Amino acid sequence: MTVKHRQIYFMSGFDPRGVSHYYRLYRDQAMQQQKAGGLRLSVGPLQRNLDRFVSHWEIRDLSINHMASDTANHEEKEHANGNAIEWTTISTYHFLHWDDIVRKHWLRDDLTVALNYLHTFWVYLSTGTLSQIARLAWPPFITAIAPLIMLLMLLIFGLASISWVSPTVPNVWLIISIRGILVLVFLVFTHKIIQQLNLRYKIFWLLRIYYFAAQQAHERVTELAQRLDYFARYIVEHAEPTTDEILIVGHSIGSIMVTDLIGCILQQQVNFCASGMPRLSLMTLGECIPIVSLIPSAKRYRDNLVRIRDCQQLEWIDFTAPTDGICFALTDPLSASGLKQSQPNHPKPKLLSPRYAQLFTAHTYSSIRRNWYRNHFQYLMASEVPGTYDYFAITAGKLTLRQRFIDIPSVTGYKTPVPLL
């Protein structure tokens, strides 16, 4: 089947930046991908819907070669050779807003963020979730505990420095004065260190993510549940018979949102995946589903994962990069959540790697793999050379998600390599 009309629904991660940022990212990176041998796409202007919760833009695939090579009709081939386009793939890219909810829960005071992190850390530790994360994949485990380790190391260093003063200084008041100065120096030094680490690793962003994930697992973000329910109704109501594919995409913690969203869709309309409906496809990028699904209180969310598992017509492909330190690389999110596969011979999702090393020159890849932020957002960006993973071909090309990757088997038995120290 050749896709002529596609509806894309995209949910970003825990990111206060809204649609303008992601629209510019898509438009600019699509142009970069074209220079790397990708599709020639026309990205239309950003359109803001009246309901405020959905914005969209239109994408047209203006590449002519696919029609000339794939169209059986001789007359259409002649039109293609004459540069007259008879048809093209038209994709409508819907940005599902929840950035307002992110901003509402985006704690601005660093001390409050740190205190909430300590509470969240205790939730993950006391429920056994942290140990399960450690067994699944060490990178997100390190991501979860690294801030605490760094804070403890700084605290131990500070206390050791202060206590060292006592045996070397005979005067009590001098000891108190020196200790006071050391405390002040320690606080300034600690603040500077944390700022530098935050600039490089976005530590406070990560702390906010884990805190929000725990709140979501405990169903304390009521406005999010209402928003997802609204999105589900919106997608069902706008599913047109002429649409060849409905592609739902979630990036980062957005992977949690879209799986929850599809569960809501299937709850509202059980037969939404049935034949005769537009093909429903799900693509998760850099997923971190277990940080919610493993928390015992997240039963409603796990129920939605079961609905997705049991929807046989749904094609779900999960892309994760082993160099992405936030995601659960090449880890089955259903099995990780304690759910058995209903079709062991055709498990969901298909686990694939974007294989960043094949999308860039060795020099560029060496730089990218050391950049935490770039690694996590590269899923949405252009490559340097053509490769199997092409976000813009997936979202705007002529093939459905299933067709594009049908011959690529799911990765099995992947074990996260432990780095050599």
Name the residue among 344, 197, 363, 354 with its Cα closest to residue 286: 354
To the nearest 10 degrees (0 to 180), the angle between helices 254-268 and 222-237 is: 60
The DSSP 8-state label assigned to residue 407 in this structure reads T
pTM beyond 0.85, yes or no: yes
Pseudo-torsion of CA 6, 12, 18, 21, nearest 10°? -80
Asked if 99 and 116 sit in the same domain, the reply is no
Answer yes or no: do 264 and 393 share one domain.
Answer: yes
Assigned domain for 419 exists:
no
Does residue 141 sit in the same domain as residue 159? yes
Domain end marker among 146, 171, 206:
206
CATH number at residue 291: 3.40.50
Same domain assignment for residues 26 and 137: no
Instruction: Judge contact between 387 and 355, C-beta under 8 A.
Output: yes
pLDDT block averages, 10 residues each, the chain of length 421:
95 97 99 96 93 95 61 41 64 98 91 88 95 90 81 72 60 67 70 65 82 96 97 94 95 98 93 80 98 97 96 95 94 95 90 97 94 94 97 98 97 67 31
Indicate whether 158 and 32 sit together in one domain.
no
Does any domain span residue 315? yes
Cβ neighbour number for residue 339 with a 10 Å cutoff: 17
User: For the residues of 31-85, what is the DSSP string, one character each?
Assistant: HHHHHTT---EEE---EE-TTSSEEEEEEEE--SHHHHHH---HHHHHHHHTT--
Q: Are residues 372 and 255 in the same domain?
A: yes
Q: 418 lies in a domain?
A: no
In a shared domain, residues 50 and 134? no
Whether residues 258 and 347 share a domain: the answer is yes
Note whether residue 25 is domain-resident: yes
- Residue 184 sits in the same domain as residue 265: no
Q: Are residues 363 and 254 in the same domain?
A: yes
Dihedral sign from CA coordinates of 55, 244, 380, 349: positive
Find out whether 328 and 285 touch, Cβ atoms under 8 Å: no
Please check whether residues 254 and 356 belong to one and the same domain. Answer: yes
In a domain, 211, yes or no: no
Question: Number of structural domains, the chain?
Answer: 2
User: Do 55 and 131 fall within a single domain?
Assistant: no
Of residues 222, 400, 201, the one with CA closest to residue 317? 400
Task: Measure the CA–CA gap between 257 and 20, rounded to whole angstroms.
Answer: 20
Query: What would the two tokens of residue 206 be?
Result: 């990560």
Whether 142 is in a domain gets the answer yes
| Strands in 142-296 per DSSP E | 245-251, 279-285
For residue 297, the enclosing domain spans: 5-69+85-103+221-399
pLDDT given for residue 71 in this prediction: 41
- Domain end, chosen from 174, 206, 238, is at 206
**Rounded-to-5 percentages of helix, strand, coil across the chain:** 50, 10, 35
> What is the rounded CA–CA span in Å between residue 5 and residue 246?
9
Q: At which of 152, 173, 206 does a domain end?
A: 206
Q: What is the pLDDT at residue 103? A: 97
Confirm whether 417 is domain-assigned: no
Whether residue 408 is contained in a domain is answered as: no
